[in-house]
Amino acid sequence: MPALVNLALGVPAIIPLYLTYWLLTEYLPMDCRDIRDMARPDGQNCNFHTLDHAGPAMFALALTGALLLMLVVMIDVLRPRTRPDDGPGRWLAAAALIPVPFATLLYLAQA
């Protein structure tokens, strides 16, 4: 049961995981961090759209990441503690399955 629940948690986790992936692959490799940096002659790897969307993406990542973390704590830690026959150990071990739906979609998108 913990594996199925954590796989189901992985579906809404696609949003913060994709935002993290986008920030790591699109925003961080850029040479500029501000619109004024685009005018520099040595700024080769500057994309206005990526720079423009970075702020809202970081805000959305913070918001959805906090919501996901709250769900994981509620489902994998607090809920199993209310049951005397089930501890949070099995549930936390199954939490490693949360990124599986995102990894599957990422693999299918790149194939």
The per-residue pLDDT for 43 is: 64
The per-residue pLDDT for 87 is: 77
Instruction: Give the span between the Cα atoms of 70 and 34, in whole angstroms.
Output: 33
| pLDDT tens, position by position, 9-65 | 999 999 999 999 999 998 888 877 777 776 777 767 777 788 888 899 999 999 999
The per-residue pLDDT for 32 is: 78
Are 30 and 42 within 8 A, CB to CB?
no
| pLDDT tens, position by position, 74-94 | 998 888 888 877 778 888 999
How confident is residue 1, by pLDDT bands cut at 50, 70 and 90? confident
Are 58 and 68 within 8 A, CB to CB?
no
